[in-house]
Amino acid sequence: TRACSEFGVETQQAKRRSFTKLMENLITIKSTTARTTKNYITCKTNFLEYLSTQGHEDIDVYKITNDMVVDFIKWMAVKPIKQKYNSDKVHKFGMKPSTINKNMRIFKMAMGLAVKSEWINKNPCGDIAMAKKNESPLVFLTSKEVEKLLEYTQNYALFYPNRENRSQELYDVFTTFIY
């Protein structure tokens, strides 16, 4: 293989451009901090883990399709997550939408690098939308709850006699935000 490439002839093995190699290139080019490097490695590990569920160890970048990327997102949404400190126990299923989005931003960046490096013609992530975040609805206090909180802040000094000034501060801050 080496002799063939030295003379300008590429063999099939020399042409192989794996996802792992792409991520190594991305880490080399784009990593500026240890945290960034960790995030890139996590994305790479997640995709390789997904590939293993599909019967692959690694994959040539040109074989990554839009459908495969969609399946990867779905897989992340249901993947069993292990506890950090007790790796034997699974505590929940699926990554949070923000985690999926972080992985997809990195994945999309890697595929963009593959396009710029002419490994592939089109980014398979191009038209895939980010995961929707579960937004909590706004909750409003009732008049009765507001009155209780105001009463609590006014009586704060009774419970904590060494903090008399704090009682007025709490009351002032609370009333400022309420009204």
pLDDT, tens only, 13-70 = 435 789 999 999 999 998 788 999 999 999 999 999 999 999 988 999 999 999 999 9
With a cut of 80, say whether residue 3 has pLDDT above it.
no
H helix or E strand, kind and range, residue 91: strand 90-93
Q: Are 108 and 26 a contacting pair, CB within 8 Å?
A: no
Beta carbons within 8 Å of 66's beta carbon, 6+ residues apart: 124, 125, 126, 127, 128
Considering the chain, what percentage of its residues have pLDDT values greater than 90?
36
Closest Cα partner for 113 from 9, 39, 17? 17
Q: What's the chain's Rg over C-alpha atoms?
A: 26
The predicted model scores a pTM of 0.62
Write down the pLDDT at residue 78. Answer: 86
